Structure 1
Amino acid sequence: MPASKPPVPSVWIRQRVQRERPALSLDRIVSEAVRLLDEEGLEALSMRSLGTRLDAGATSLYRHVANKDELIELVVDEVYGELRVPSAEEAAGWRDGLATSARSLRAVILRHPWLASVLGQAGLTNLGPNVMRRSEDLLALVHGAGFAPGEADQAVNTLLAYVIGMTVSEAAYLSMLARNGQTEQEWLDTVRSTAEQAMEEHPRMRAEYAVKGYGDPRRAREEDFTYGLDRVLDGLEARAASSAA
Structure 2
Amino acid sequence: MKLKFGKIERCMLVNDVAALVSCTRTFSCSAAETHLGYSPVVSLKEGAALTVDSFSALAEDLPLRRCDDSDEHSKVDKLLGSGKVADILLWRDEKKTFNCFLLLVLLYYWFFLSGRTFITSAAKLLMMIIVSLYGYSMLPANICGFTIPRVSSACFEVSKVDMRNSFLAMACMWNELSLVTRLLAQGEDWCTFLKVSSFFYFCKLIVPHFLTMAIGIALVVAFTLFFVYEQYEDEIDGMAKVVINRLRKA
TM-score (norm 2): 0.21
TM-score (norm 1): 0.21
The structure, 1 or 2, with the larger RCO (C-alpha pairs under 8 Å, 6+ apart) is: 2
Structure with higher Rg: it is 2
